[in-house]
Amino acid sequence: MNTENTTPDPQNDTSDAVKVIPQSLQKGLQGLLYRLRESVVPEIRYLEGETKELVIRMAPYRRKLPIYLMYGGGILFLISLGFYLAASSLEWSSTIKLVTGASALATLYATAKGGEELLLYEQWQFILTDKRIILVTPDPSRRGFADAIYLKQGKIQVLDTNWSRRPLWGLFQATQGSRDVMLSMSGYEFKEEGAQVKGGLRFPDVLPEDVSKLEKLIFG
C-alpha cells in the first residue's frame, strides 16, 4: 500500500485513533444538536490504526435525482406560492386560487421528498476496513434515523441480487445495471417454490462493479 500520498481522500482515509467526543459536545445545545446529527447520519468510529479499504454506496443516480428534485421543486414552489399570493390579493377566481394553492403544496411535497431520498443516500454505506465490516443503514423502527453496525470480517455468508421493489428505481436499474443486494449472516432458506435469503439486509441500488467487489470480499 502506498503511504507517500498525503492528500486527504474521503474514500480512502485512515484513522490513527478512536474518535473521542469533545467535552463541548457532551452537553448543552451543542451536545443536543451533535447527538441528533449522530442519530440521523452516524459518524463512524474507527479503531486505533484501522485503515479504510473500501466504501460502497448507492448508485450515483440515487443522489443526483433527489438533488434535481429538491432544486426544481423549490423553484416551482416559490413560483406557485407567488401566483397563489397574487391570486389571493388581487381577488382572482377561486379556481385559480385552488390550482395555484394545490401546485404550491405539490411542489413543496416534491422538495421534501427529494430531501428524504437524499438523506437515505447518506444513510446507506458499506465500509470495509483492514479489521472489520461496517454497515450504516436506516433504522427500520424510527423513520429518518440511522444505525452504524460493526461486524467481524467473514460474518456475511450470502449475497443475492434483486430488482428494486420500487418501479422508478427499477427503471434506473434496467438502464444502469445496478441491483438491490441482499446480505445475510444466516444463509438461504429453501422452500418448495425456491430458495430465499434468510434474515437478509437489502442494500439498494448497488452498481455492477461494486457487486463484483462484494462478491470477492465475501467469497474470497
- The residues, ordered by sequence, that sit 6+ positions from 129 with a Cβ below 8 Å of its Cβ are 46, 47, 50, 51, 52, 53
- The greatest distance separating any two alpha carbons of the chain, rounded to the nearest whole angstrom, comes to 71
Taking only the tens of pLDDT, the chain with its 220 residues reads 444 444 444 444 444 344 556 665 566 677 677 778 888 988 888 888 898 888 999 999 999 999 999 999 999 999 999 988 888 888 787 888 889 999 999 999 999 999 999 999 999 999 999 889 999 999 988 888 999 999 887 778 888 899 999 999 999 999 999 999 998 887 777 776 767 777 788 999 999 999 998 888 878 7
Segments making up each domain of the chain, as ranges: 156-220
Cα–Cα distance for residue pair 211/208, rounded to 1 Å: 5
pTM of the model as a whole: 0.77
Beta-sheet strands, E only, within 24-172: 52-56, 125-129, 132-138, 146-152, 158-162
Cα–Cα distance for residue pair 124/59, rounded to 1 Å: 11
Q: Quick one: which of 55, 29, 214 has its CA closest to 127?
A: 55
CB under 8 Å, gap of 24 or more: what pairs does 109-112 form?
Answer: 109/73, 110/69, 110/72, 110/73, 110/76, 110/77, 111/69, 111/70, 111/73, 111/74, 111/77
